[in-house]
Structure 1
Amino acid sequence: MHDRRGITLSLRHLLLLLTAIGFLPLALLGTWGLMAAADVQQREQDRSMLELARALSSAVDAEHDGAAAVLGGIANSPAVRTGDLRAFHELATQHAAAQAQWLGVILADAAGRSVFRTMAPFGAAPAPVADPASLARAAAGDAPVAGGVMRGAGGRAAFPVRLPIDLPRGRFVLSAVIAPDRIVNVIRRQRAPDDWVIAVMDRDGRRVARSREHERYLGGLASPGLQRLMRSAREGTGDSRTIEDVPVRTAFTTSSRWGWTVVVSAPTASLRSPVLRGAVVYAAGLALTLAACIGLASLLSRRIVRRIDSLVQGAAALGAGAPVAVEPSRVREIGQMGQALAAAAAARDRHERERSDLLASLERAVASQEAALAEAREAGRAKDEFLAVLGHELRNPLSPIVASLDLMDLRGEMGAQRERAVLRRQVAHLKRLVDDLLDVSRIASGKLELDLRPVDLADIARQAAAAAAGLRVTVQAPPSLWVAGDDSRLAQVLGNLLSNAGRFGGGEAAITLAQAIVGDRPMARLAVSDRGAGMAPDLLARVFEPFYQAPQQLARRTGGLGLGLAIVRKIVELHGGQVAAHSPGPGLGSTFEVLLPLAQPGLAPVEAPHVPVPQGLRVLLVDDNEDAARSSALMLRHIGLDVQVAHTAHEALAAYGDGPVDAALLDIGLPDMDGYALAMALRAAADGRALRLVALTGYGRKGDVARAAAAGFDLHLTKPASLEDLRRALAA
């Protein structure tokens, strides 16, 4: 037998050969694994940086949202709704002082003109508006806008957050001027490596905040490489250079809501250093592996595999939103990957907490808005109640005055005719002021209702001219011109226009009524002209605003509350018409022109036949105002009526029990029982006998009339009632 023996090796050489043969594929595989790990690390690092950029972007958005919410709270204040700019300025100053890094609050109109600045006293000269481009965007839209960073006249840098608001005078923009330090604080709250650079850029690509050398680079543009990177997409990662020309790996994201960009950059050298260190460690491991036993290599490989499995499980937990738990490893690359996973999980948790905080803040803002709306509704109700009581309290003293004047006229006392005429004019003036106050309240609350039907506007014009006391009025009108309207409200329009002509028109006025074509619609054109004081262009622009009046002397000889023309405009608009004022200038007279849609002719109103008051009619007069009761009783007795007077409900019931009456005039606000309850008690006491009940009260709202009808009253009269009003009420 031949012994087949080839090359012989010692056991040591054979082991070395076996180790070398086994190590070669392991070395190749290890090299490939190192490259794959470096790639994974790069992707994880990019994702981590991008997550940090997104978290910072959310935090910056939250700062802007908070500023917009504060501005919204200021805009919802009562001072804004009433147009009180001084109170608005004080409120904005308080809010600006309460906000950290707020330099002030600015209110500007849609054209870019400054209305006020909290950085200056109210009424100070307006300053040019910085960043007019963002102000124009805010005025043109309905959403808040963040402007760019700029330096003011004093050299201090700031950026605006702008909120469009609608005031009674039009569209305005409320802006919070904020120092960039507020954004710097957001950056400093983030846990980023010391050698990383974080920057926040505004919509124009200028630096608002920077984690390193903030003041030096504030307001500057990004490096050219970063600009190219940001132009490529709204968010992403890539290689660029810092403004100091340091190579970095950059992640950026741009807010879709505010247009600001957050940039997170890490030096390329620091990112590659772990990879290089890993390569060195791996090379050393290869050398040690050559000298180590295969068992040790197997042991190490098993441990490495176990750690990689832990990273895979951590990545899966991160994607599922579960807590991430990564086992520590002595292999640097695996340890860094575990740290990256933990950092990503922490960033995810921060983002979730910030989103929860934002949702909670939104819920609080909605609750605050609902509370403010409830307070506004309660304030409106209180205002309506106050105006109703004011009308009642102002009308009550007018009632005995009117009754006394009617009584003096009935007696034929000739010695005080001029004085009575003066009193009647002043009483009529006071009554008109009260009616204007109540009408403007109904208009503001949307409670002014019209009874539209075909009416003859020419007849209303002639009646209004005949009723204009102390004013010479000429009327030029066709025999009839029909419109769809409320005759009493149209008479009020003409009355207010003639009253205005009486105060400012020099004692003469002219009414011109004709048919006209406006656009393609047939309209009735009603013009009231005078040759009096006239108006300047600035007065013409505001003459229909409530409470606005032309400058007057301290004596206020013309009087009025500035409501008559505002009421005219609203009534005309409710009729589907238009009203305008024209004047050549001061001292050249004025013309007020009303356009109303035409309507088909209707039936002329039939005059109700005059029914005299029966002599000896038994009347029960109940009023807790002794002056009003006494004067009204004397006046009714003078025309032949049998009048009994009571000042309380119990006195009235006792008087009715002594002997039934034919009619009762009842005040509503009695001290012991209101007039509604007294009316029902008298109806019950009448037990089916004829009894006419008339409510005579200072409350004249539509709801008061309906309540009186529900209580059993036949008629509702508002104080002061004249003798003719009482005649018609009792004769009916």
Structure 2
Amino acid sequence: MKIRAYLALMVAAILIPVILFSTISLNMLLKSEREAALKGVRETARISLVSIDRELTNTQSAVRMLAISPHLARGDLAGFYEQARFADKVGATWTALIDERGQQLINTAVPFGAPLPGPDAAQRVAQVLDAGTPQISNLIRGVVTQALLVVVDVPVTTPDGMRYVIAQGFKIEHFNGVLTQVNAPPTWLAGVYDRNGMTIAQTYGGGGTGRGDTRPDLREAIRNKTIGVIRNASDDNLKLYTVLERSALSGWTVAVGVPEAEIESAARRALMVWIVGLVAAVCCAALAAVFFARRLSRSIGQVARSAQALGGSGDPVHSDVSGVAEVDEVLAAIGAAAAVVNQEKQSRLAAETEREILFEREHEARTTAEQQNRAKDEFLAMLGHELRNPLAAIVNATSVMAHPAMPAAASERAREIITRQSGHLTRIVDDLLDMGRVHSGKILLERHALRLDQVIDNYMATLRASQRSARHELRVDVAPVWVDGDPTRLEQIVSNLLDNALKYTPAGGTISVSVRSEGEDAVLCVSDSGIGIAPELMPYVFDLFVQGARPLDRAQGGLGVGLALVRQLALMHGGMVDVRSAGTGLGSSFELHLPRVQPPQSEVSVPALTPSSRQRVLLIEDNEDGREMMAMMLEAQQYRVDTAIDGFDGLRQAGAACPDIALVDIGLPGIDGYEVARRMRADPATSKVRLIALTGYGQDSDRERALAAGFDAHLVKPVDMARLMEALESAPAAAPRFAGTAS
């Protein structure tokens, strides 16, 4: 074999591994570039999906609030129409009330009283009422507006058993605005599609395109519930990489398409560089092989001729064969090795860059976690501060009462402090519980006609007695106005608004409270000359845990849930609350609007404490202190009291003593209060005993569970003595109300 063949094999042996390694590295690089480009597309699709779901969730919440409208409960369609218009998003949504036959009763897309089409949604209404849960439609055409739209249907059952569907329809142009707010690059194509693959909203460049039909390939992928990346074409046959995300709430699909050229541009540049480098390497290797082969052949030929000349007694031919070819081969090998090292260096640099990116992301995630942990610690510290202050006052007051040398006036003052601070602790616990009920929609109202100005007067008397307003100038201007409300919750609204004004108004400032009639509304206004509200904080004033800057001494106090509760309670009363402030340092003003009602024929007086009938009462309570105090209270009212420390002890004493009434705690050791009630109802000897649940579990589901277990009444700790006496002295039911048997 000639030396040229050896050199060719040597060059091939060097180039083939380099080409293979470069190809593998190139494929990895292309894949990495493509994945990096698609990651941003996925993030945009997720953000778009979250924005769409947030719009639908907000609409469901708004419609749920309409479902408890007092106007709907009374059948007042005109009042409900006005409240529904208030709940609409201007220019984006409309609201319709549909009966069980599919007949629209009102539609805020047209004036109230305008003719509406006949029953046209019977099937849709039946499906929503049968499901019993909110339903989100596909793309449909409205019978009133004749426009393409989507509808959120919520089933409603009024207290008198009437069933309706409240439908809030979206103009699909609204979803174009939602997609535009995501701020995707102008060349990207974003779209929202219903469960049938029909186009709800679509943007390209910043303008909307057609609605309804969708390209077959994309529609087929949506109907097959595809999630991830597909390759398809746009309406103008532009090849796309499209990321599909599906909503668990509505079943809709969000698709974000990016031109293939944008995704592949970096990969194509890398490919071109690789091809040019490979061709250059092959050409250089071939030229070097030819050059060195000729030089070696010439040198070896000269050596052979020199040897022949030496064998023929001739002068040897001197030739330059001192190893230059070998040196050139070493240099060529070093050059090839340098190319490999350079390739490895590039790969290592890419890996290092990726590692730094991952480290930065890990650092950001750790920083976010630390911020969340700090927020949790700050809230717990704030809660501990708010709980310890009244607890300290109560402990000190009990010490004063226990001191034998204290005068009667000091003991009376200590009792007042214990009563006031216990109420403060109760309000803190109620605020924390109400915060959870706000999210779950489980706040219950006990409404009746009352004067809003009297609620203000009662609370102002309490406020002045507590000396909390001693450093402020209070101006009260109230007029008699009747509203339909829960007095406890209305006082909670007044308390939170005034507490907020006191917190943020420095000593010497002025706080004004007024009640007036304004059209069909009763208006409560609380204004102050305090620190005001910064413009950037205004949109979030009624959100949970939102507060201004707070000093370490926490002179302003609070948990940051008061104004959120005010807004929720106002909505539940069929009203609204608004805030105005000219800016920092210029004070603020909160206005509560509630529907006015006509005064009743006679004002209901507060019932006096029900007299005791001296019945025999069995108290089943595992907390020793609570059991002792409750027994003392009952004996002070001349009841004959027996006590039991757990469920089994209570059943034994009930069977032996046959009491008239049993007060039963729910959270008992051994067997709980529900099981005690079931066993007493199942026993003929105790089945007629009047059972009253006395517990800290106060949700509506807890009350229903207690009644189902056989209880006659359900009271939540701490219970007012007048309420307890009323329950003890109420006439027993005709027959025990229970479900189930002892287990």
TM-score class, shorter-chain normalisation, is 0.3 to 0.5
TM-score (norm 1): 0.45
Query: Higher Cα Rg: structure 1 or 2?
Result: 1
Give TM-score, length-normalised by structure 2: 0.44
